[in-house]
């Protein structure tokens, strides 16, 4: 696993968002050693899940926790284009779909980065219908192998409301972090996403409330307080980076405020 990547675009986050991601990282570290495969998911496109996944991975690797970011959005991935990812040696870039289709070895697809503790598997070629690849033994074995070699495996997956891929992937993960765009994502849609995760047997580890404006947190506060009160405590204020934990549960709801346009 010695293929070196160049990440051409590494935007500087506003301090407020950097701090919110840092608090999320700290709470993830409290999950316990059994929580290794974590999928970052949203209900709809453009809620910021890819932005959260990329930066949570960066911060975890920066904290010297061996971490790998896996782009599992096989239908409409934008990671390689958005962050201008290429190989340092100039050779062709290979990724997850190449490996799952049995065209490449895993050592050809895992990229090392400038971060000693941060590797990634991008998705280079999108697939019209990746269901068979995601349902294959090769995919489940890959996740187990990665979990045995990395402290954290972060999976950037398609939105739950668009396709069934997220449920399948969730079934293989230790938990999910749900990214919600403040003041935009309907509560009914969030309920459906939670139900999908429950059907998949994927524990909801926490919620990232992203792009919260003034009063944005109040839009969800009553609903979250009712649904999650016994696990999280209420998520009410609109303060950026507000994190609450209830009792000794390993949950990490986060409220984030940023003016950046989120990635999908």
Question: What does the alpha-carbon distance between residue 115 and residue 38 come to, in Å, rounded to a whole number?
Answer: 20
Residue 114 lies in a domain: yes
Residue 14 lies in a domain: no
Q: Are 258 and 42 in contact (CB under 8 A)?
A: no
Angle (nearest 5°) at CA 27 between 213 and 231: 80
Residue 56 lies in a domain: yes
Residue 263 lies in a domain: no
Q: What is the pLDDT of residues 225-262, one digit of tens each?
A: 333 322 222 222 222 233 222 222 334 444 444 444 44
The pLDDT score that the predictor gives to residue 2 is 56
Give me the CATH number covering residue 98.
Answer: 3.40.50.300
Here the tokens at position 95 are 């990724």
% pLDDT > 90, the chain: 67
The domain containing residue 78 runs over which residues?
3-8+19-255
Low-confidence ranges of the chain (pLDDT < 70): 1-2, 212-264
Closest to 262 in 3D by CA, of 145, 159, 163: 159
Residue 13 lies in a domain: no
**Residue 75, helix vs strand vs coil:** coil
Question: What does the alpha-carbon distance between residue 180 and residue 45 come to, in Å, rounded to a whole number?
Answer: 10
Counting the structural domains of the chain, the total is 1
Question: What does the alpha-carbon distance between residue 241 and residue 169 come to, in Å, rounded to a whole number?
Answer: 28
**Cα Rg of the chain, angstroms:** 17
Residue 260 lies in a domain: no
Residue 138 lies in a domain: yes
Instruction: Go through 37-69 and write b for each residue having 16 or more CB atoms within 10 A of its CB, e for each that does not.
Output: bbbbbbbbbbbbbbbbbbbbbbbbbeeebebbb
Residue 43 lies in a domain: yes
Chain centroid offset of residue 150 CA: 16
């Amino acid at each position: 696993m010695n293929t070196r990547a160049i990440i051409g675009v590494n935007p500087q986050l506003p301090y407020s968002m950097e701090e919110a991601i840092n608090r999320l990282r700290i709470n993830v570290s409290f999950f316990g050693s059994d929580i290794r495969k974590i999928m970052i998911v949203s209900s709809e496109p453009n809620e910021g899940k890819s932005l959260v996944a990329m930066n949570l991975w960066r911060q975890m690797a920066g904290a010297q926790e061996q971490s790998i970011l896996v782009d599992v959005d096989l239908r409409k991935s934008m990671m390689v284009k958005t962050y201008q990812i290429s190989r340092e040696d100039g050779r062709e870039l290979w990724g997850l779909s190449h490996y799952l289709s049995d065209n490449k070895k895993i050592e050809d697809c895992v990229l090392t980065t400038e971060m000693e503790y941060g590797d990634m598997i991008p998705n280079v070629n999108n697939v019209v219908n990746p269901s068979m690849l995601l349902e294959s033994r090769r995919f489940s074995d890959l996740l187990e192998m990665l979990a045995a070699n990395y402290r954290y495996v972060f999976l950037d997956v398609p939105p739950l409301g668009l396709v069934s891929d997220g449920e399948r992937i969730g079934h293989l993960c230790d938990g999910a972090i749900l990214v919600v765009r403040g003041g935009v994502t309907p509560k009914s849609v969030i309920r459906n996403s939670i139900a999908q995760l429950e059907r998949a047997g994927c524990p909801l580890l926490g919620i990232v409330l992203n792009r919260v404006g003034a009063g944005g947190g109040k839009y969800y506060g009553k609903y979250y307080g009712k649904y999650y009160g016994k696990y999280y405590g209420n998520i009410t204020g609109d303060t950026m980076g507000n994190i609450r934990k209830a009792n000794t549960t390993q949950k990490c709801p986060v409220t984030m405020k940023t003016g950046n346009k989120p990635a999908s």
